[in-house]
């Protein structure tokens, strides 16, 4: 959903911002969510600039931005409970816009903006399930449901998340045309991920069996262009229903609140890595654009190793 820009931004600067966002969407294949976030981030800074100096923020005010203006903006944002990670993203968006302006206007010096340092933030480690818990979730996610086809449906979705490392949006984006592939062990699903990036994901036997059971029980026709996973009335399956199913099985199994659908994808990556999986291969399977995103799972593995050390090694105990 597009957010309206503030009236505190001059028409010329507003148009420039929209041109930059349009280019990001067209050439860089940025998602609608990313575009909306960047629009809001840059608009927030320009609103602050207008209040800070008075009047509408225009090209002249942006040209005159100094390091102290950026520091004041970040201090203001932190004082209003904006997190370091969120603020770092906002500064990144502002830098992208400033760089784009400097490429098109010889008199626009973006040095002050581009040299600004984002606040340091520690990226939180993913919280995967252990292997036994992940297996239990996929086997009993909707045991409390009376309809066999819904139990089979939720099991198939959960098994694709854990067994193939899919995001929930990717699993629910599969169509009837993908069914034959998803039911074939060793075949590869063509997944359209974030930013329209395609990747091939091999189907493990457990996932193939789960999908085949679901398609055999589903009361609706598996049409090539229709969603593979259906809701009770035959429409596309709402991801919220899978979230609720996870909440239910989490309570039944006594799992922590971090046991969400996305935790199954984290578990896929962590368990592959702990068993010697190649980091580059895991990056491809997850569809990460940058290896640094995948490397966060090495931190999870190290953290688990330290937990085991502290629990078991005699020299780890105090006293």
Please tell me which residue in 167, 199, 266, 271 is annotated as part of the active site. Answer: 167
The two tokens of residue 198 are: 């395609």
**8-state DSSP, 178:** G
Q: Is 167 designated active site?
A: yes
Which is catalytic among the residues 14, 39, 265, 266? Answer: 265
Please check whether residue 71 is in contact with residue 113, taking contact to mean a CB–CB distance below 8 angstroms: no
Whether residue 260 contacts residue 246, with contact meaning beta carbons closer than 8 Å, is answered with yes
Asked about 194 being catalytic, the answer comes back as yes
d(CA 65, CA 26): 29
- Is the separation of the CB atoms in 268 and 130 below 8 Å? no
- 95, 135, 262, 304: which is the annotated catalytic residue? 262
Is 67:112 a contact under the CB 8 Å cutoff?
Answer: yes
| Known active-site residue 199 | no
Q: Is 111 left (phi over 0), alpha (psi -120 to 50) or beta?
A: alpha
Backbone angles phi, psi at 198, to 5 degrees: -95, 145
Given the residues 82, 85, 95, 194, the one annotated as active site: 194
Q: Which residues of 196-221 are buried (b: 16+ CB within 10 A; e: fewer)?
A: eeebebebbebbbbbbbbbbeebeee
Catalytic one of 38, 162, 214, 297 = 297
User: Of the candidates 15, 97, 19, 7, which has an alpha carbon nearest to the alpha carbon of residue 57?
Assistant: 7
- Of 14, 151, 230, 288, the active-site residue reads 288
Q: Which residue has the tokens 């290896």?
A: 291
Determine whether 297 is an active site residue.
yes
Residues 6+ apart with CB under 8 A from 67: 112, 115, 116
Active site residue 288: yes
In the structure encoding, which two tokens stand for residue 64, read together?
Answer: 């005159």
Q: Token pair for residue 10?
A: 């001059």
**Beta strand extents in the chain (DSSP E only):** 188-192, 198-202
List the catalytic residues.
167, 194, 262, 265, 288, 297
């Amino acid at each position: 959903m597009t957010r309206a820009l503030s009236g505190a931004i001059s028409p010329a600067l507003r148009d420039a911002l929209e041109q930059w966002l349009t280019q990001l969407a067209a050439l860089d294949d940025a998602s609608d969510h990313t575009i909306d976030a960047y629009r809001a981030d840059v608009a927030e800074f320009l609103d602050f600039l207008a209040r800070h100096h008075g009047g509408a923020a225009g090209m002249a005010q942006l040209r005159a931005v100094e390091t102290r203006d950026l520091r004041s903006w970040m201090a203001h944002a932190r004082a209003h409970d904006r997190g370091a990670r969120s603020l770092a993203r906002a500064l990144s968006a502002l830098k992208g816009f400033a760089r784009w302006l400097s490429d098109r206007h010889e008199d626009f010096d973006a040095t002050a903006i581009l040299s600004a340092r984002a606040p340091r933030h520690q990226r939180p480690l993913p919280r995967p399930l252990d292997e036994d818990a992940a297996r239990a979730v996929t086997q009993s996610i909707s045991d409390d449901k009376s309809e066999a086809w819904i139990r089979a449906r939720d099991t198939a979705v959960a098994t694709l998340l854990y067994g193939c490392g899919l995001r929930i949006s990717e699993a629910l984006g599969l169509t009837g045309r993908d069914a034959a592939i998803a039911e074939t062990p060793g075949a590869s699903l063509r997944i359209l991920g974030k930013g329209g990036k395609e990747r091939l994901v091999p189907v493990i036997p457990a996932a193939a069996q789960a999908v085949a059971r679901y398609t055999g029980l589903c009361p609706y026709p598996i049409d090539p262009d229709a969603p593979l996973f259906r809701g009770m009335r035959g429409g596309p399956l709402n991801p919220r229903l899978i979230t609720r199913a996870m909440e239910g099985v989490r309570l039944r199994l006594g799992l922590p609140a971090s046991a969400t659908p996305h935790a199954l994808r984290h578990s896929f990556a962590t368990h592959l890595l702990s068993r010697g999986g190649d980091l580059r291969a895991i990056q491809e399977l997850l569809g990460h654009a940058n290896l640094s995103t995948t490397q966060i799972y090495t931190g999870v593995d190290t953290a688990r190793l330290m937990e085991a050390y502290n629990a078991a090694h005699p020299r780890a105990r105090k006293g």
